[in-house]
Amino acid sequence: MKHWKLKLGLLSGLGMTVLVGLLIQPRWLLNLIGRVGPGATYYIDTDAQAVALTIDDAPSEATDEILDVLDRYDAKATFFIISRRVPGREQNLTRMVAAGHELGNHLTEDEASILLSATDFEAAVLEADRVLADYGPVRWLRPGMGWYSPGMVATVSRQRRQLVLGSVFPYDTHIASPQFASQFILSSVRPGDIIVLHDGPGRGDRTAKTLKQILPALQAQGYDVVTLSTLAEQQSAKD
């Protein structure tokens, strides 16, 4: 009986360790995932006191408020655009680019990219690229819902894009609390991290509130909040 209790205790402890690891997204875990499924960028290895801010699912009715907050703190972001949300909100993308933000490909719909056939996935990549081409070059692609396969990586690479996920995701798609998101980010962030937040219906206004809390706090700690490409350039400078 004691033997089984010990086993159960060890298994319980291991399960809790894995659960906590998943919640806080430590780099050892991201490195392990990257070795199992290569081809995605999770963070940038740099000594610069900088982080990349990324915002998924734009544009929406909250995008202007998000941009206002970014302007207030002179912070830059990479906005991952869902292309079929662009009609009627073209001015949001124009404003992003004019303000020095960066556009990324987030395909055409808010859906799990990994569930698409190879043909449909490539078609969605190309359709989104065509929309974004009117606003400037696109370097990065983030798959919907964050899951990817080797075939998706190959497709993205053929289009000369880099598949990117992130290293600080405060579960803002599931926990509707700017306070939780802010505390999660500020307690987890390290130089080179890629922060993931969300625009879109019901989420963009929360992101604006989160940014009002984290941006002055990050800057007080000496962080520059930059686009993905700017952070990647700092990796090159380090190398």
Residues tagged active-site: 56, 198
Q: What is the dihedral of CA 196, 200, 202, 208, to 10 degrees?
A: 60
Q: At a CB cut-off of 8 Å and minimum separation 6, what does 183 contact?
A: none
Q: How many helices (H) and strands (E) does the chain have?
A: 9, 8
Q: Which amino acid is at 70?
A: L
- Burial of residue 38 (CB within 10 Å: 0-12, 13-18, 19+) is exposed
Element (H, E) at 196: strand 194-198
What are the C-alpha distances in Å from 37 to residues 32, 96, 149?
A: 9, 32, 7
Cα angle, residue 147 at apex, residues 24 and 49 outer, rounded to 5°:
45
